[in-house]
Amino acid sequence: MLEVPERSRPYLRRAYSVADVDTDRGEVEFLVKTIGPGTSALERLTVGSSARLLGPLGNSFSLSGLSASDRVAVVAGGIGAAPFPLLYRALAAARIPGDLFLGGRSSADLSIASRFSGVVTGELQISTDDGSAGRRGFITDLFAERAASLPSRYARVFACGPMPMFAALAPIVARLGIPAEFSTEAAMGCGFGVCLACVIPGAEQPFLVSCQEGPILEPARIRW
Amino acid sequence: MVAAGLPVRLGPLELKNPILTASGTFGYGLEFQDFVDLSKIGGICTKGLSLSPHAGNPPARIWETPSGMLNAIGLQNVGIEAFLDEKLPRLRELGVTVIANVWGDLEEDYVTVVRALERAEGLAAVELNISCPNVERGGMLFGNSPSATASLVAKVRAATRRPLIVKLSPNAPDLVESARAARDGGADVLSLVNTFVGMAIDPETARPRLSFGTGGLSGPAIRPLAVRMVYQVAKALPGTPLIGIGGIADLSDVLEFLAAGATAVQVGTSNFRDPSVSGRLVDELAAYCAERRVAVTDLVGRAHAPAATPVPLDAGAEG
């Protein structure tokens, strides 16, 4: 009895943010954390394997209106840092300093930090819930402290992580009056606005369809 | 272009081919323009339309399962007015065969929506959803009772001249009785099946994975159940045109439903995984019919032929 590696799970595609692109070499990078059968199957792919890709889908972070005299903050929870190498490529090209606030439950969540070596255009701040790396505590608290101590406020905050991190960050950026873009997380079935699975409660409408109207949303559009 | 051998007729409803897309898995069609030539598909069934826009259920709305998924979207839709004003004119321009899927809480809601559709141009048929398991009222409550099915279908029948399709619930206590009730109420065509009520529970928290608690199971996981039900209804109600639905992803799945007695099929959950699948199935079916020199209608109901009867196909092209 020979077990065939192709399994019935996962059935649907998975949404990943593009971590970086190399247009000269025609390469796209994804940062994937192995958490279940789908990510395990991706991890087992060997060099030269092929996989079908539908994309790019959804919207992007925006640097419009920002200049080299501005300073921005990038707030990431664990693997939520995945889209930020590409953002930093754009920030570097525009000479915009950006501080990276990278948080996790423990140091095990922060292996992604090495990907940002030489990439960050500002300071790197790290925290963990258990204190095993960086400062002990939530990354949103570290961000709030740092933001309040700056002589001039951040021109924009870019964030990606789990919903509890966003829920903590939203009132902070609102209080400080900083425009923010949150790359939201929601289970997606199709990625192009049809299955209506990835809805997020909206402030002015019942639901925002994350894949269609986002995934990057201003926190004021979300009902917290 | 209509390929030879592909057109089918389901009572008063004529289709250029038997590949349709299932309600709830194809939006309003326009979302798929980048992936498939919509005019090529036999027809699209819209997201279930209600009198007023409907917000649907809070997340979490889907949970992936082996070879399929559970959903409890809760019939989120733009409502009949927005559909008629914003979606249908564009579909008409694109030459899409549109089947309006309709639902409501009460009989009167269904009738009102169907009446509103009467004035619209460019609708090939109406499909009644009496089988959604993810709303508190309406939906499956009609489909689970043959008398409620017959009463609702008769009222809607009186309100429309269009071909009337009734989408049956596999959760009904007796599917054949439901099918008979829908037919006797005046349905021209029966589509089967909608999703099976299922559930997934997080073993850590012991709470349901979906906010609604239960959800509808779809995808290849349900295909054998759906094939059995199509076969069963085709046998019990010969001459009633059927549309088969349940986990269709490949040409062989289409052929299986046709053999069971369906004259057309609807592709559902596969649209999420591969948005171009419906167009590909039309091409593959056309190639199959050309190669075998058969028409789709020759393929319908072959599973009901006595076992001793030779399969009436020119199999010469098969090497």
A144 and A217, same domain (yes or no): no
Which residue from B minimizes the CA distance to A199? B59
Check CB contact under 8 Å for B272 and A194: yes
CB-nearest partner of B64 from A12, A192, A201: A12
B294 is in which domain, residue-wise?
8-317
Q: Are A78 and A110 in contact (CB under 8 A)?
A: yes
Determine, yes or no, domain membership for B287. Answer: yes
Outline where DSSP puts E strands in B49-186: 62-65, 68-71, 98-102, 125-129, 164-167
**Rounded-to-10 torsion of CA B112, A202, B206, A33:** 130
Q: Check if A41 contacts B (Cβ < 8 Å).
A: no
pLDDT at A5 (0 to 100): 64
A163 and A114, same domain (yes or no): yes
Which residue from B minimizes the CA distance to A200? B59
* pLDDT band (50, 70, 90) for residue B307: confident
pLDDT at B312 (0 to 100): 60
pLDDT at B318 (0 to 100): 44
Length of chain B measured in residues: 319
Over the stretch B4-39, which tens digit does the pLDDT of each residue have?
Answer: 799 999 999 999 999 999 999 999 999 999 999 999
pLDDT at B95 (0 to 100): 97
Check CB contact under 8 Å for A194 and B31: yes
A204 and A143, same domain (yes or no): no
Q: What is the least distance, in Å, from the CA of B89 to any CA of chain A? A: 19
CATH number at residue A219: 2.10.240.10
The answer for B92, left when phi > 0, alpha when psi is -120 to 50, beta otherwise, is: alpha
Q: Are strands B13-15 and B8-10 parallel, antiparallel or unpaired?
A: antiparallel
Torsion sign, CA atoms B270, B275, B281, B287: negative
Query: Which 93-152 residues of chain B touch chain A by CB within 8 A?
Result: none
**Which residues in A lie closer than 8 A to residue B221 (C-beta atoms)?**
8
Over the stretch B217-231, which tens digit does the pLDDT of each residue have?
Answer: 999 999 999 999 999
A144 and A223, same domain (yes or no): no
Q: Indicate the number of domains in chain B.
A: 1
CB-nearest partner of B67 from A11, A193, A199: A11
A121 and A212, same domain (yes or no): no
A201 is in which domain, residue-wise?
186-224
Q: Indicate the number of domains in chain A.
A: 2
A177 and A190, same domain (yes or no): no
CATH number at residue B264: 3.20.20.70
Please tell me which residue, B133 or B154, carries the higher pLDDT value. B154
Q: Is B45 a catalytic residue?
A: no
> What percentage of chain B exceeds 70 in pLDDT?
95
Q: Check if A163 contacts B (Cβ < 8 Å).
A: no
Structure tokens at A68: 């080299």
A113 and A125, same domain (yes or no): yes
A95 and A112, same domain (yes or no): yes
CB-nearest partner of B69 from A12, A54, A194: A12
Q: Are strands A124-128 and A98-104 parallel, antiparallel or unpaired?
A: parallel
Structure tokens at A80: 């939520």
Q: Are B45 and B102 in contact (CB under 8 A)?
A: no
Determine, yes or no, domain membership for A222. Answer: yes
CB-nearest partner of A199 from B59, B64, B71: B59
Residue range B186-211: mean pLDDT, rounded: 98
Over the stretch B39-78, which tens digit does the pLDDT of each residue have?
Answer: 999 999 999 999 999 999 999 999 999 999 999 999 999 9
A80 and A179, same domain (yes or no): yes
**Which residues in A lie closer than 8 A to residue B202 (C-beta atoms)?**
none
A143 and A213, same domain (yes or no): no
Catalytic residue among B41, B51, B100, B132: B132
Determine, yes or no, domain membership for A128. Answer: yes
CATH number at residue A132: 3.40.50.80
pLDDT at A6 (0 to 100): 62
Amino acid at A191: G
**Which residues in A lie closer than 8 A to residue B71 (C-beta atoms)?**
189, 195, 197
A117 and A196, same domain (yes or no): no
Q: Comparing C-alpha atoms, which of B125, B228, B233, B232 is closest to residue B183? A: B233
Check CB contact under 8 Å for A11 and B275: no
Q: Output DSSP code: residue A107.
A: G
Q: Is B76 helix (H, G, I), strand (E, B) or coil?
A: coil
**Which residues in B lie closer than 8 A to residue A186 (C-beta atoms)?**
59
pTM of the model: 0.93
Determine, yes or no, domain membership for A62. Answer: no
Over the stretch A56-107, which tens digit does the pLDDT of each residue have?
Answer: 999 999 999 999 999 999 999 999 999 999 999 999 999 999 999 999 999 9
Residues B27 and B44: their CA atoms lie apart, in Å, by 9
Residue A9: CB atoms within 10 A of its CB come to 15
Residue range A1-30: mean pLDDT, rounded: 87
Torsion sign, CA atoms A185, A190, A191, A197: negative
- Map tokens 């591969």 to a residue: B274
Residue range A198-204: mean pLDDT, rounded: 97
> What percentage of chain B exceeds 90 in pLDDT?
90
Determine, yes or no, domain membership for B3. Answer: no
Q: Check if A193 contacts B (Cβ < 8 Å).
A: yes
* pLDDT band (50, 70, 90) for residue A48: very high
Residue range A112-121: mean pLDDT, rounded: 96
Q: What is the least distance, in Å, from the CA of B306 to any CA of chain A? A: 34
Determine, yes or no, domain membership for A194. Answer: yes
Over the stretch B225-250, which tens digit does the pLDDT of each residue have?
Answer: 999 999 999 999 999 999 999 999 99
Average predicted confidence (pLDDT) for chain B = 94
Q: Which residues pair with A98 in a beta bridge?
A: A72
Over the stretch A121-147, which tens digit does the pLDDT of each residue have?
Answer: 999 999 999 999 999 999 999 999 999
Q: What is the least distance, in Å, from the CA of A56 to any CA of chain B? A: 13
A224 and A131, same domain (yes or no): no
Interface test with chain A among B202, B273, B277, by most A beta carbons within 10 Å:
B273
